[in-house]
Structure 1
Amino acid sequence: MNDNSKEEITNLKDSLNIEDVIGTYVQLESKLGGKWIGLCPFHDDTTPSMHVHTGKQIFKCFACNEGGDVIAFISKIKSCTFAEAVNLLRQEWCNGSTPPPQHIARREKAKQKPPATPAQLAAMEAENVKFMRSMYGHHPALARIHEVKLDDHSWMDGNKYHPDCSDITQTYVDFEVSQAGSTVPSAFKAMRGRIVFPIRDENNRLVAFAGRTTQTITDENRSYTPKYVNSQTSDLYNKSRTLYGLHLAGEPIRTETFAFLTEGYKDTLAMVAAGFKNTVAQCGAAFTDDHAELLKRYTKRVAVLMDADERGREIAAAAIVVLHRHDMQTSELLLPPGEDPDSLFRRIGKRAFRTIVAESQLTGHLQAIKESTGMDLASLVSDNPLESPEADEADIISTMQSDRPRLMAREQELQHQMRKLGSKRFLFGQGPERMQINTELMKLRSQLSEVSKQLNRPIVWYK
């Protein structure tokens, strides 16, 4: 039998754990969902860019675009052929032994790299600017030079990119979104043919790009056609320390006293197009401590709005943990199942989208309460005289939605009473009268919190 037959190769891969093999060469850290991350050995990576998926038994670097199965990894790391990689795996992994770790020296070397000088940083940014200007797309300065008008469809020729949604178009212009052509500088070859989202840091420096494929991602092409490719980590750009859109969102965040945090670039653009200019997105799959510290310079309150799927819930939960670790207040907003801000905006339009975000999707909020507490939805409205024991969840939700005017009136009355007591409290020192007022304020605050939950106000903060 041929030792390298398709069946034998399949048996070999099934007998190995890809995280164990890659872990010999890369120090991996465990993440949610059976995934591991580590420094990519195939480029000068200083923050973890390589993801290893134990379920699919594949690896993928989202910076340099290397990826594949365990054999592809060995072929690349050892600079050998497919057959040589197979033999090496059999010799070192199928005889009951495990090769010693070989990644320590590389990590030390990465730490010893001297930082770039201001001149080097300026040169890196200049290359980014040159690449962006080569893409004739949604760049305001280029639009003015070429007298581009959005109602003139000739501007869609060449490499110009149109988001195919008139309500979002101007936001794509403002954020300089373009589409790379088939011929690009070698340093940006991973961006060829992709929709390119320029990434600026909080100081408005053009530090990186994210390229989204124009292809439809399927199970067949997922392993070799990544949805996004990103600029490599450098002294100019570190995705773990960069928030997309912060250069424009900084002042709106301070004005609104809170920030929306989304999962991706397109989601942030949809939020901004809807008027929520205090929106940023994490760069990369993980919200980090550096992200939290960066955001904390602008606000201590963050409304987390991720995709309404299992992965989105995992990302939201992880981000909330990090935010709480930095003593920040959070509110998790919920969208209809399977939606994300971009898809929902495009499906229902700007006005309806604003309503759902503002009310934080009442149905989803009630369902989240049911899942987290085990409480039946009927018990949430047990004090409502309109509710009947036979009502199903849809009836209950409909009743609560129709009861909003009464709840809003009650909310305003509670707020009025609290303002009066707050003013009255300043007239007293530390005597019993002040203690009584504080007690009454606590009661009113508790009542207001319950009313706000039923109204599902978008900013209900938790610590």
Structure 2
Amino acid sequence: MAISESTIQEIKNRIDIVDVISDFVSLKKVGSNYRALSPFTNEKTPSFYVSPSKEIFKCFSSGKGGDAITFVMEVEGINYIEALKYLAAKYGIEVQEEEQTDEQIQAQNERDSLFIVLNFANEYFKKQLFDSDEGRSIGLSYFKERGFNEQTLKTFELGYSLDVWDGLLKEAKKKGHSEELLEKAGLILKQESKIYDRFRGRVMFPIQNVAGKVIAFGARTLRSDKKQPKYINSPETEVYHKSKILYGIHQARQAIRNEDLCYLVEGYTDVISMHQAGVQNVVASSGTSLTKEQVQLISRYTKNITVLYDGDSAGIKASFRGIDMILEHDLNVRAVVFPNGEDPDSFSRSMTSDAFREYLETNARDFITFKTDILTDGGKQTDPVKKVQVIREIIESISLIPDGIKRSVYISACADLLDVEEQVLLSELNKLLIKKQRKDRAQPEPPEPEDLPLTEAKQPKPNLQSLAYPVERECLRLVVNYGNEPFDEEMTIAEFILGETQTINFENKSIEETLNLAAQVVDEGKKIEPDIFIGPENPTMSQLVIDLLEMKYFVSEGWEKKHRISTMHESEDLPSAAYTAILRLKRKKLESLILQNEETLKKSKSVEEQEELMTMHKHLKMMLKEIDDELGIVISS
């Protein structure tokens, strides 16, 4: 099924780009635009801009840009249709779907097909949990023993895989899903001539992306057989990269925003039990070491993370790298340790929701106090050598914090806690920072923003070697920014530029294609709007137009009044700007024609042809002089 054109248009009409993007990043108004830290990179200085008037965003650190739909696609890692459905749900729009043609079904890409087969598997596992005797007696009984109620089972879409070799395989083939796709989705295994289900006789935990799409599964055995691993997970696929996802993020993201805090745990049942206990702003790293991608995912919704640990100090020490990674990404981190023998799952089930919440709030400690307690065994460590080691470890963690003010505050806290002179700690910190700066300077320079892609696929760069490129680009810039403004009493800026360039062949085909689309819009009597050129259908055109819709630099409100300096914006004299741009374009084309004519003249052997070429040369030179006079260009002889 495909979304109807009328629904797509209704979604586009209802979208407020600032409202959409504010769900993911904290925007700050600057002039007529908005600015924020990029949700795509780990930057320290904001380079992400949103223009409500143009209804576009531009991220100068990653090169990404587009409209609200493109933003949702990029930030959620979903396709166009999924982004439309997300926005429809946000604005309460009923999605009308149309039957797809055989050609459209054939063209459905592998990524979409994987989502479809994974969703089928999820529905199958849920059905087995509730409808099969085995599922009810084993799977459902286990979940009830854990205290999970019916609403929790539905919220996390828990299921059960039958203890047979090919239960899912047979049902999937009945529904028309191919073995090849099932294998790519990580649902079946092939060994020589044998084909069988990956998950058998296990309770199933579907892993969802931020948008709620099932991308993988975690599966727990209920057997006491030690030969079987307790948990097995889906392999990495086209849609599942375990380092980039957090279990429970779909269910937790709104609560994380509302609470401005994310609790980070280790396992599936930790998340589910806490959620049922009323603490819904919780996600799990699912048994893997915390990654920078997971930290960046959390940072879309909050800058505050509290890591929850059971009482095993050896396990806690092993996870210190995760805390350092959180600090490195300029997030605030605290820690809560549960009593020995308890974890978030068991502890949340042992008390009321209010008592559990109170425990989390009253026992959260800053990372210095937490780390010191663990490394000194609760302050019992008196060995001077060990104390020096503890101090060095904590200073190393503080050195990772990008914010200088935060570092200073933590140094003071560390000095008080460990009874060490603050100046000594500052000296050690400065040594580490200098060492880090030297190391960073030794790294190769990152690519310039213009070299970065709009989407995952690298887009072709414009032909910057072309001498005509800057003037061709300038004409397009004026059309997309000011096309609807008047040139004179009879025509707009767009009509003037498009009319003057109608017979000119542009060297840059992307610019030519964009101007042709603009001409088509004008011929239809419509206004030139940025969203005409921007969208996933043509990423090269989108990138070109977004780069022309410059938002980053502007005169701030009150600047002229404060400094008593008058500034003039080009929009105050658009006819002159458009006329000059056309003259410069024609001048460049004339220069090109003159060069071509000279080359032909050098090769010509016919006197008659030479005379004709000389006449043409004089004519072209005369036209060039007229334009130079208009532009005020003086050419020395």
Q: TM-score range by the shorter chain?
A: 0.3 to 0.5
Query: Going by fraction, where is helix more abundant, 1 or 2?
Result: 2
TM-score, reference length from structure 1: 0.47
With a CA cutoff of 8 Å and minimum separation of 6, indicate the structure with the bigger relative contact order. 2
